[in-house]
Amino acid sequence: MLFSKLLVSAISLVPLASAIPVGNVQGHRHHNQSTIKRDGGGFPDGVYDCSHFPEDQDGVVKLDYLGFGGWSGVQKNDGKFGTASTCEDNTYCSYACKPGMSKTQWPSNQPSNGESVGGLYCKNGKLYKTQKNSNNLCENSHGNAYVKNTLGSNVAICRTDYPGTENMNVPTDIGSGSQQPLSVVDEDNYYNWGNKKTSAQYYVNKSGKSAQDACVWGNQGDDYGNWAPLNFGSGYTDGKMWLSMSKNPLNSQANVDYKITIKADGGTLSHDCKYENGSFHGSGASSDGCTVSVTGGGAYFELYN
Ligand SMILES: *[C@@H]1O[C@H](CO)[C@@H](O)[C@H](O)[C@H]1NC(C)=O
Ligand SMILES: *[C@@H]1O[C@H](CO)[C@@H](O)[C@H](O)[C@H]1NC(C)=O
Ligand SMILES: CC(=O)N[C@H]1CO[C@H](CO)[C@@H](O)[C@@H]1O
C-alpha cells in the first residue's frame, strides 16, 4: 500500500454513505455531449457518455498523455480490479483534480484484499457518481498548505491516485520561483483503508523534469515516479493539519538535489522539520523522515539550494 505510513492512524469511523450506483437515471433523453452545461449543481448522473471525459467539471484535469482518454486510470469491476484501457461499461474511471483539490469519488464497497478502487462508474454507456453525497468531482483542501520553489528550475510532485490504481500520476508542477497548493485532506471525512484514516501522498522528484515525464511509473534504477527520492504527506485530523516528508521506502538511497524546510505561513509548527544533505533534521526527525502538526494557520514546504 502506498498511503503515508506517517499519517495513517487507527481510528474506527462512520462508514461513508452510498454504494455502487444503481442507475437512477433522471430522464433517458440523449444529450449532445458538447451542449451539456455546467449549472453549479455538480456532476449529473447518467448524462455523460463514458467516452466523454468530463473536463468541464470544476477542478477536473484531463491527462491525455496517459492514454486512457484523459482518465488517470480505469479499473475493471470484475473482482480483480485490473486496468482497462478505456472507460467502458462495468469499469471505474478515475480522474485527476487540479493542485489543492481532491477527488471525491470512489465506491464505498472496496475490495477485501486491501487494494483500492476509485472514480466514476460506467454503466450502460453513461457515467455515475460513486459517492452520491459529493456533488462535485473535486473538493477543496481542508487547510492552507503549499510548496514554494525557490530553485532555478521546476520541480514536479506527483500525487498518488488513491483510492484507485495507486499510480502516482496526479501532477503538480511547481515552476521556478513559484508556489502551488497541496491538498490537505480532511482525514476524518475522507477515504479509509482498513478503518484507518488516510492522507494525501505525493512523490517528490528532483528538479528540472516535467510533471508529464515524472508522474508515471518508473523502473528500478530510475529516480522518478514511484522511484522518486522523497514523499510528502498532507492531511487534517484531530483539529490539526499534518505535513510530513519522508524517504521513499522503494528508493531510500536516492536524494533530491536541493534542501527542504517546512515553514509557517500564519500557523504554528509543532517543531522543526528539514531535509538537507540527504537526511532529516529537527526535533522529532528520524532517518526515515519527519512530521509536523500545524495549528492556527497555514504552512509550506520550501525548496531551496
Ligand atoms: C452538438 O452540438 C454542437 C454545438 O451546438 C454542434 O456543432 C454539433 O453539430 C452537435 N452534434 C450533434 C451530433 O448533434
Ligand atoms: C550539510 O553539509 C554542509 C557541508 O558539509 C554543512 O555545512 C551543513 O551544516 C550540513 N547541514 C546540516 C543540516 O547538517
Ligand atoms: C522524471 C523525473 O523527473 N525524473 C527525473 C527527476 O529529475 C532528474 C534530473 O534531476 C532526471 O534525471 C530524472 O529523470
Which of 168, 173, 223 has the most ligand 3 atoms within 8 A of CB, as the residue to mutate? 223
Cα of 115 vs centre of ligand 2, distance in Å, is 41
Which of 276, 283, 305 has the most ligand 2 atoms within 8 A of CB, as the residue to mutate? 276
Q: In which band, very low, low, confident or very high, does the pLDDT at 46 lie, cut at 50, 70 and 90?
A: very high
Residue 280 CA: which ligand is closest? 2
The pLDDT, as a whole number, for residue 59 is 96
The identity of residue 192, as a single letter, is N
The pLDDT, as a whole number, for residue 284 is 81
The pLDDT, as a whole number, for residue 40 is 58
Closest C-alpha among 100, 59, 3 to residue 298: 100
- Strand 145-149 to 298-304 pairing: parallel
What does 30-47 look like in DSSP terms, one character per residue? PP-GGG----SS-PPTTT
Cα of 277 vs centre of ligand 2, distance in Å, is 6
Cα of 285 vs centre of ligand 3, distance in Å, is 26
Which of 277, 279, 280 has the most ligand 2 atoms within 8 A of CB, as the residue to mutate? 277
Residues contacting ligand 1 via CB (< 6 Å): 32, 34-35
Average pLDDT over residues 8-24: 22
Helix (H) or strand (E) holding 212: helix 211-214
Most confident of 117-126, 153-162, 234-243: 117-126
Task: Specify the range with the lowest mean pLDDT, choosing from 99-103, 193-197, 200-204, 267-271.
Answer: 193-197
Residue 218 CA: which ligand is closest? 3
For residue 101, report the phi and psi dihedrals to the nearest 5 degrees.
-115, 160
Looking at ligand 2, which atom is closest to the CA of residue 276?
13
DSSP state of 183: P
CATH topology of domain 140-304: Thaumatin (2.60.110)
Residue 216 CA: which ligand is closest? 3
Q: Is 91 in the pocket of ligand 3 (CB under 6 A)?
A: no
Domain residue spans of the chain: 140-304
The pLDDT, as a whole number, for residue 211 is 82
pLDDT tens for 92-150 read: 999 999 999 999 999 998 888 878 899 999 999 999 999 988 999 999 999 999 999 99
Cα of 295 vs centre of ligand 3, distance in Å, is 34
Q: Is 206 in the pocket of ligand 3 (CB under 6 A)?
A: yes
Mean pLDDT estimate for the chain: 83
